[in-house]
Structure 1
Amino acid sequence: MDWKFNTEDLGQIVIGAFALGVPISFSEEAWQLSETLPLLNLTVLVLITLVFIGLYAYQSMFGQNIHRRVPVFLVRVFGAYLITYLVVCLILFSLNQFPILDNWVIAVKRAFVIAMPASMGAIIVDSFDKE
């Protein structure tokens, strides 16, 4: 199996990120958490997210055949997270909850907080047709 990233993969990641990102983006608790979460905790949250995305991708998409495809695996994990982050930014912007010009730190933190569950939805939907 070749595991190239194509427009179908992009669509699956966007749909998965959107599916879990939208309900959480409407949550005032997520907005407030992003305002009070210290940088250390935010960093741990992002790292945990990447680890879980990586574990899921390894188990469901790559399995034992990862040895020759480590770069592809890393691109898949970090790419899915980046795409998810951008989808969450778009959702928050459309809800007027992404104050990138007024308070960019809160905007970035808010997107990271919501990207955690949204990225799990993204990688799960991305794995549906990978066997």
Structure 2
Amino acid sequence: MAFQFETYRFNTEDAIQVCVGAFALAVPIGFSEEAWQLGETLPLLNLLMLLGLSLLFLGVFTYQSVFQQDIRHRLPVFIFRIIVAYLISACVVSLVLLCIDKLPLIDDTMTSIKRIIVISMPASMGAIVVDSFDKE
């Protein structure tokens, strides 16, 4: 299965690379009590700033490494790449937290979302770095 935009493809191999990169950083950080507590105590504004920083750094790295500063005719692909990398990373983080019983989705949904945002920042960077290894 592949999504094709002009001359660029996002396929199963890319998705697996994003998963592996996210998992590489989600595991050690997801197991830390400091990350759990940050997810409980950070105010919403700080979490939004963290989310924004995550997307900003994903964008900068993707622009420099994956697209080699050439997004003029591939802007939709560029944006798609950033969003997909972040969403896959958030899913990987969610699975890790669920496995270690630190994702109280039903009992405390807001804490779960906060923990996912906190741990997805480094996990998404790991994801996009691994994904960039074999690009262009």
- SS of the residue corresponding to residue 4 of structure 1 reads strand
Equivalent-residue separation in structure 1 for 2:57 and 2:126 (angstroms): 11
User: Which residue number in structure 1 is paired with residue 64 of structure 2?
Assistant: 59
Quick one: which of 65, 74, 79 aligns to 1:74?
A: 79
Per the normalisation by structure 1, the TM-score is 0.98
Q: Is the 8 A contact 2:40 2:111 kept in 1?
A: yes
Give the aligned residue type for 1:55. Answer: V
Matched, 1:14 2:22: no
- In 1, distance between residues paired with 2:7 and 2:15? 16
Q: SS of the residue aligned with 1:67? A: coil
What residue is the counterpart of 2:128 in the other structure? 123
Runs of 4+ more than 2 Å apart: none
Q: Letter of the aligned partner of 1:71 in structure 2?
A: P
Give the paired residue count.
131
| Cα displacement (A) at 1:11 | 0.3
Shift of residue 102, structure 1, vs aligned partner: 0.5
Task: Select 1:2's aligned residue among 3, 7, 27.
Answer: 7
For the pair 1:45 / 2:61, whether they are aligned, the reply is no
Name the structure with the higher helix share: 1
Identity, in percent, stands at: 56
Find the partner of 1:88 among 74, 93, 98: 93
Q: Distance in 2 between matches of 1:26 and 1:109?
A: 15
Q: CA deviation at 1:20?
A: 0.4
For structure 1, the residue ranges without an aligned partner over 5 or more in a row are: none
